[in-house]
A and B are shown apart, each in its own frame.
Chain A
Amino acid sequence: MSFSISRRNFLRGVGASSLLTPFAGSLSRNAYASEGNPKRLLVFFTPDGCNPNQIWPTGEERNFQFASGTTWEPLQSIKDDLIFIKGLNFYNIDNHEPGMRAMLTNCGSLSTSSLSSIDQVVADHLSTTSDNLSLRRSLELGVFADKEGGNSQTRMAYRNGQMVTPNDNPNAIFDLLFAQEYQDSGTYDKVAARRQRVVDITKGHIAALRQRLGTEEKRKLDAHTESLFELEQQLNAPEISTDIQLEHPNIASYHSNGNFSQVLRAQMDIAANAFAFDKTRVASIQVGRTVFGEQVTWLGYSDGHHDLSHAQFGTEKAQRFVNTLRWYSEQFAYLVQKLKSLPDPLVPGTSIFDNTIVVWAKELGHSTYHSCSDVPFVVSGGGAFEAGRYLDVGSKYHGSLWVSIAQAFGLEMDSFGDSGSGFGRLEML
């Protein structure tokens, strides 16, 4: 059974076997095709650091090799699409929880109330400068990231001090993005108008309540109002169509250990498809959390993930950790291939990958030393950076990487997060 989908043709309760076949055709608005600018940002995270003895390539910047059995070896076939960076340190930060907080924010000694992560900063920028008014500002996808709820070990995205919650439920996100429940455009218009009435009533009640509040509680309602604004943008979303077939993830139990790899695959597909339908231009996929307790059963291990990360190097258990990291490389390779397989609706003749900066970030370097020095990063060119390189930047603060990326998106900033880590972009990139 197949369905036609545009913004106004929806289905309800998509089953496992059902496919969405969007209208073929052009986008309903003008795609702008300024050359060489990244259009999107995708952050990929995997937890608990790495074994530094088995990750770094050998060789030169443009002529480098992954030794057999090392962590990044599964990226061999796509290494010309990527940039591998060694030598980035977090400023003023070490250890699991601080590393998790600092990874995308370069928070250093900044207080929590002012944190914003690179994905959120870019998302704010793109959502205000984009011509597509119904874009979702950003999409935070989790893989067992929200199992225990939010705290500074389980969150990596921050917006103005507020933790941004990843959604671990691929079914729900798929429904939100790709399936709606109304059949024809007449009904949809009516529903959208009623939804707008509801939003208006809610806004009126918030305004009345707000008058009675002190500063702190007012802020709570202001966040609520902004969230309603994001909702209103979705109510006015225009028609979009493209040639992509979508399959509903249909994962019953997204926090059940046995479904781990399936959930990860589903979230990667959703991120890629969200780009292909131009539902958002910034997404993140957070695999687990720092101090990830989940047993690595998807590779047949009984050990907890974090426990493996503390195995003494050279032991069999430590090899299991390297294998776990290699498995992440395979997943990351899948993500890259998926993005390469999808045509970019904004820049005809190119793939999503060509115009997307993909960053694979980690919160720790050396796993058993809990250190945030030499934290490995893998970045794609995205139309901004020359790919196919191994960069040993010596010893630089990683905030400079976020400056480079922010600048690539046209943000005029010279420091990112705690300016104590210095100014300027990562020159070698």
Chain B
Amino acid sequence: MLFLFSFACFTGGSNCNDDFGYYQSQVSDIVESKCLGCHSADGLANTTRLKLQSGDDEGNFEQLSALAKIQTEDGFLLWNKPTGQHEMGHVGGEVLAEQSNEALVISKFIGMSNDLVETCSDEFIIEAQELICDDNAYGKRLLRRLSHQEFDNTIEDLFGIDSDWGSKLPKDNVVDGYRNNAVSLQVFGGMSELYMMTMEDIADTVVSERLNTIVPCSAGNRTIACAEEFLLDFGTHIFRRPLNDDEVSDFLSLFSDVYYDDGFEEGMKWTLTAMLQSPHFLYRSELGVQNENGDFQLTSWEIASELSYLIWQTTPNRELLDLAEQDVLQDRGEVLSQAYKMMNHPKASNSILEMTNQWLGIENLSNESRGSVDDPLSVSVKEDMVTETNRLMMHAYSENMLYSDLLVSNASIINSNLAGHYGVEIDMSQVDADGFAHVEFGSEQYGGLLRQGAVLTKHTLPSNSSPVLRGAFIRERILCQELPPPPPNVSADLPQVAQDISNREKYEAHTTNTECSSCHNLMDPVGFGFEHYDELGRWRDQENGFEIDDEGVVFNIDKDDVPFSGVEGVADVLAGSEQVGECYVQQWFTFGYGEGNREDKDIACAVQAASDLYFEQGETMQAPILSLIQLERFFMRKGEAEEGDTMALNSVVELKSDEIEESYSGDSEDSVGEDTQDGVVVSYEDTSWGSAGYHRVITVKNVSLQSLSWTISYEHNGSTVIDWNGFCTQQGAIVHCEGDELQSGESVEVGYGVQY
């Protein structure tokens, strides 16, 4: 948190030389309108420490000035809560936009309450924390399991067969909006069995259909030597790096055993089956090799994969593997020039469309039911809508349009089926082989990213246009703002109203009712801009016989509230927003790197750096992808604490309870460590290293469902241990700590000093 103090004198400051005067003249109105809805005796937030009463300035002032004095290391509570910056969040959401006049009043009130300024004539501004980034915002060393989409593309490109094996597996988890999150992609539970069945099926197909294209020998020469050559040559494609000797011998021994029993084809089948189940195929390695600074430099092989999966969502082709073999992919310039080339290859559509369809949430549309039960929207229209968006996006990327131009564009690419659905004409002489034509819409309100049938149909209720869902889409996907869920114990019904009002009037209850308005103001007033579109994405002049009012406000965009008129107005507001551009980069970052948690400072810094590059490079459609490649993060990974200095040797942890009685040796060569054993997590960290010794802090957490007692021992050769909190004793080189009855979920911190 940055505090800016300056002492400027305002002329004409009235009645503001004492805190209460300032409260009455400036703060009270804000409190009455922004806080009282929930923070009242019968309000939603009546169990919090702020319980206000309408009109009671004195009582309210007393509470707020007490609150204004509460300060943690993250800053002032009274500032962090309403501006949505508190680490625990604010159930009511962000009710004050930073830098709004109201926020300035609150910040000055905080300054006065804490005697940081004397009167309200003095300026006191709390600014948002600046993100302070160092140059080495590298990611972690990772194994990234192939997503199902990457898996299918990889199988297709390796073997030249069609693959929907991946898409038939249980779906990957969606994290931060995408299903390729590096942490979440794992092989657990029944997955190994499903992979086994899948790989056997694939190997069967490959051997029966494509054997000639993958083995380097003619039908008469199919021997063990041929299999070995296959491993040394084609193996490099499957593992995305050459196999080492051990791996070759693993597979060759399996091959020969099967070969002697059942011949070459069966041998190849089992060899392929095994190769595809190996972690070296299933995971993309981003581990690197440690350099002299302790960081890890990705190998050229790893960079070839990273590049290929980022831009093509598939395994590196022969050209990239050749470059990796020559080890030229450490050269940032070479990688960038490859990237430019790859962006303009048809395979770039793999990535662009996968990212787009998850970003816009439309990947499942053709499987979702829409329209009325008697007159459902046909699958062909839903599929064509997704095709429309995909065609438009491919056009935007291949022309490398400005992202802002795509937002305001009134062009799209449709076929006669969609033309019929939308009620527009297309010139059939212009259609391509697939029946689609590029159409510039004039007075008909279609085209551009926001007026896609797929987007408008997806983000609404199936039988009714929903300003809430459309607004939420803009907030979350276009502005990258997370919305809080509706608070509990508030009726989420729209109040029953007379039938003869418009859809908009029904929803307006959300924004007039203070309980709802703090959040719904972020959604509904944006969504109102789309009221001319029905739930199937069709323009309507009237809604249910009512004239349509599609004026609205985008609250809290670039720290401002911007009114607009109609969908074109929304598009203009968004196209002019820096936040919208940053969000577009963030979306690509999350998809490209498989991690998007902005709470992680390194990620936030990397997104910011990529976003700077995006703006430098002209805010084009392709710029975010190329920005990702220009980060040092693309080539480097962070060293892990594991590789740090070591003092303690041979730790032994013993856990005891009725149910648990086991001992094990943990890795002890580390200054930080963690071990999980049957329901217990033991982690330790050595800190405050000095010439005399260091401190070891151990946390024991019971993650089992029963209570337990525990003992832990560590070996510290030749050191004296000073116990802090009575859990540990030393006998010779062994330090022995123990404690009783840790309840389920509880943890305890134990520490001692080690003297050299």
Report which A residues bind B (CB closer than 8 A): 94-97, 110, 113-114, 116, 121, 136-137, 146-151, 159-160, 162-169, 172, 176, 190, 194-195, 197-199, 201-202, 204-206, 208-209, 212-217, 219-221, 223-224, 226-228, 230-231, 234, 255-257, 293-295, 297, 300-304, 307, 310-312, 315, 368-372, 406, 411-420
Give the chain A neighbours of B188 by CB distance below 8 A.
Answer: 162, 223-224, 226-227
Give the chain A neighbours of B495 by CB distance below 8 A.
Answer: 312
Give the chain A neighbours of B175 by CB distance below 8 A.
Answer: 151
Q: Smallest CB–CB gap between A237 and chain B, Å?
A: 11
Complex Cα distance A371/B194, Å?
Answer: 38
Give the chain A neighbours of B168 by CB distance below 8 A.
Answer: 169, 172
Point out the residue from A96, A110, A147 that lies within 8 Å of B485, measured CB to CB. Answer: A96
3 closest Cβ contacts across the A-B interface? A94-B488, A150-B173, A214-B640
Asked if A198 and B254 sit within 8 Å, CB to CB, the answer is yes
Which positions 130-162 of chain B face chain A at CB distance < 8 Å?
140-143, 145
| B interface SS class | loop
Give the chain B neighbours of A163 by CB distance below 8 A.
Answer: 173
Asked if A369 and B488 sit within 8 Å, CB to CB, the answer is yes
| Beyond known contacts A202-B274, A215-B673: 6 more, CB 8 A cutoff | A137-B189, A165-B189, A303-B462, A304-B462, A307-B461, A370-B485
Asked if A149 and B493 sit within 8 Å, CB to CB, the answer is no
- Answer whether A231 and B193 are a contact pair too, CB < 8 Å, given A205-B247, A307-B461, A370-B486: yes
- Answer whether A149 and B173 are a contact pair too, CB < 8 Å, given A412-B658, A419-B743: yes
Asked if A224 and B192 sit within 8 Å, CB to CB, the answer is yes
- Answer whether A220 and B744 are a contact pair too, CB < 8 Å, given A149-B172, A194-B270: no
Give the chain B neighbours of A113 by CB distance below 8 A.
Answer: 703
Asked if A368 and B493 sit within 8 Å, CB to CB, the answer is yes
Give the chain A neighbours of B142 by CB distance below 8 A.
Answer: 217
Which positions 160-186 of chain B face chain A at CB distance < 8 Å?
168, 170-175, 179, 183-184, 186
Among residues of B, the one whose C-beta sits closest to the C-beta of A190 is: B261
Among residues of A, the one whose C-beta sits closest to the C-beta of B367 is: A255
Asked if B277 and A214 sit within 8 Å, CB to CB, the answer is no
Tell me if B642 counts as interface (CB < 8 A to partner A): yes
Asked if A368 and B143 sit within 8 Å, CB to CB, the answer is no
Give the chain B neighbours of A114 by CB distance below 8 A.
Answer: 701, 703, 745
Asked if B462 and A302 sit within 8 Å, CB to CB, the answer is yes
- Answer whether A213 and B143 are a contact pair too, CB < 8 Å, given A169-B168, A205-B278: yes
Among residues of B, the one whose C-beta sits closest to the C-beta of A402 is: B705
Tell me if B490 counts as interface (CB < 8 A to partner A): yes
Complex Cα distance A253/B197, Å?
Answer: 20
Give the chain B neighbours of A411 by CB distance below 8 A.
Answer: 705
Complex Cα distance A202/B173, Å?
Answer: 24
Among residues of B, the one whose C-beta sits closest to the C-beta of A191 is: B200
- Answer whether A95 and B279 are a contact pair too, CB < 8 Å, given A162-B186, A231-B192, A413-B706: no
Number of A-B contacts (CB under 8 A): 231
Asked if A150 and B174 sit within 8 Å, CB to CB, the answer is yes
Asked if A202 and B170 sit within 8 Å, CB to CB, the answer is no
Give the chain B neighbours of A220 by CB distance below 8 A.
Answer: 143, 145, 186
Complex Cα distance A3/B707, Å?
Answer: 51
Point out the residue from B143, B261, B488 that lies within 8 Å of A217, measured CB to CB. Answer: B143
Asked if A295 and B743 sit within 8 Å, CB to CB, the answer is no
Give the chain B neighbours of A172 by CB distance below 8 A.
Answer: 168, 194
Q: Smallest CB–CB gap between A111 and chain B, Å?
A: 9
Tell me if B287 counts as interface (CB < 8 A to partner A): yes
Asked if B174 and A257 sit within 8 Å, CB to CB, the answer is no
Report which B residues bind A (CB closer than 8 A): 140-143, 145, 168, 170-175, 179, 183-184, 186-194, 196-197, 246-247, 250-251, 254, 257-258, 261, 270, 273-274, 277-280, 283, 287, 364, 367-374, 376, 461-464, 485-496, 640-642, 658-659, 673-674, 676, 701, 703, 705-707, 743-746
Q: Smallest CB–CB gap between A48 and chain B, Å?
A: 11
Which among B190, B371, B746 has the greatest number of chain A C-beta atoms within 10 A? B190
Complex Cα distance A17/B7, Å?
Answer: 86
Q: Smallest CB–CB gap between B515 and chain A, Å?
A: 12
Complex Cα distance A413/B371, Å?
Answer: 50
Among residues of B, the one whose C-beta sits closest to the C-beta of A207 is: B279
Give the chain B neighbours of A416 by CB distance below 8 A.
Answer: 705
A to B CB contacts below 8 Å, 30 in the list: A110-B745, A151-B174, A167-B190, A169-B170, A176-B194, A197-B274, A198-B254, A201-B250, A201-B278, A204-B250, A205-B278, A208-B246, A214-B141, A215-B640, A215-B673, A219-B676, A220-B143, A224-B192, A227-B191, A231-B192, A297-B369, A297-B373, A303-B463, A310-B492, A370-B490, A412-B658, A413-B706, A413-B744, A414-B707, A415-B744
Point out the residue from A137, A164, A166, A368 that lies within 8 Å of B491, measured CB to CB. Answer: A368
Q: Smallest CB–CB gap between A418 and chain B, Å?
A: 6
Give the chain B neighbours of A160 by CB distance below 8 A.
Answer: 703
Give the chain B neighbours of A208 by CB distance below 8 A.
Answer: 246
Q: Smallest CB–CB gap between B513 and chain A, Å?
A: 14
Give the chain A neighbours of B371 by CB distance below 8 A.
Answer: 302
Asked if A215 and B170 sit within 8 Å, CB to CB, the answer is no
Point out the residue from A94, A197, A302, A307 that lies within 8 Å of B373, measured CB to CB. Answer: A302
Give the chain A neighbours of B487 by CB distance below 8 A.
Answer: 95, 370
Which among B193, B701, B743 has the greatest number of chain A C-beta atoms within 10 A? B193
Give the chain B neighbours of A216 by CB distance below 8 A.
Answer: 140, 183
Asked if A302 and B463 sit within 8 Å, CB to CB, the answer is yes
Give the chain A neighbours of B197 by CB distance below 8 A.
Answer: 176
Asked if A295 and B373 sit within 8 Å, CB to CB, the answer is yes
Asked if B191 and A293 sit within 8 Å, CB to CB, the answer is no
Complex Cα distance A150/B674, Å?
Answer: 27
Q: Smallest CB–CB gap between B248 and chain A, Å?
A: 12
Asked if A147 and B367 sit within 8 Å, CB to CB, the answer is yes
Complex Cα distance A202/B199, Å?
Answer: 13
- Answer whether A149 and B171 are a contact pair too, CB < 8 Å, given A227-B189, A297-B369, A302-B373: yes
Asked if B279 and A205 sit within 8 Å, CB to CB, the answer is yes
Asked if A214 and B140 sit within 8 Å, CB to CB, the answer is yes
Q: Smallest CB–CB gap between B74 and chain A, Å?
A: 20
Give the chain A neighbours of B701 by CB distance below 8 A.
Answer: 114
Point out the residue from A293, A406, A414, A420 that lies within 8 Å of B462, measured CB to CB. Answer: A293
Asked if A230 and B170 sit within 8 Å, CB to CB, the answer is no
Give the chain A neighbours of B279 by CB distance below 8 A.
Answer: 202, 205-206, 209, 221, 224
Give the chain B neighbours of A234 by CB distance below 8 A.
Answer: 193
Complex Cα distance A128/B673, Å?
Answer: 29
Give the chain B neighbours of A165 by CB distance below 8 A.
Answer: 170-171, 173, 189
Complex Cα distance A172/B196, Å?
Answer: 13
Point out the residue from B170, B287, B485 that lies within 8 Å of A212, measured CB to CB. Answer: B287
Among residues of B, the one whose C-beta sits closest to the C-beta of A98 is: B485
Give the chain B neighbours of A151 by CB distance below 8 A.
Answer: 173-175
Asked if A369 and B189 sit within 8 Å, CB to CB, the answer is no
Asked if A214 and B642 sit within 8 Å, CB to CB, the answer is yes
Among residues of A, the one whose C-beta sits closest to the C-beta of B676 is: A219
Asked if B489 and A94 sit within 8 Å, CB to CB, the answer is yes
Asked if A413 and B705 sit within 8 Å, CB to CB, the answer is yes
Among residues of A, the one whose C-beta sits closest to the C-beta of B187 is: A224
Which among B171, B495, B640, B707 has the greatest number of chain A C-beta atoms within 10 A? B171
Give the chain A neighbours of B493 by CB distance below 8 A.
Answer: 310-312, 368
Give the chain B neighbours of A419 by CB distance below 8 A.
Answer: 743-746
Give the chain B neighbours of A190 by CB distance below 8 A.
Answer: 261
Complex Cα distance A95/B247, Å?
Answer: 51
Complex Cα distance A159/B189, Å?
Answer: 9
Complex Cα distance A172/B183, Å?
Answer: 26
Point out the residue from B141, B277, B488 that lies within 8 Å of A202, measured CB to CB. Answer: B277
Asked if A294 and B745 sit within 8 Å, CB to CB, the answer is no
- Answer whether A198 and B187 are a contact pair too, CB < 8 Å, given A205-B247, A412-B706: no
Among residues of A, the one whose C-beta sits closest to the C-beta of B188 is: A223
Give the chain A neighbours of B673 by CB distance below 8 A.
Answer: 215
- Answer whether A223 and B187 are a contact pair too, CB < 8 Å, given A303-B462, A369-B490, A419-B743: yes
Give the chain A neighbours of B369 by CB distance below 8 A.
Answer: 257, 294-295, 297
Give the chain A neighbours of B187 by CB distance below 8 A.
Answer: 223-224, 227
Complex Cα distance A303/B461, Å?
Answer: 8
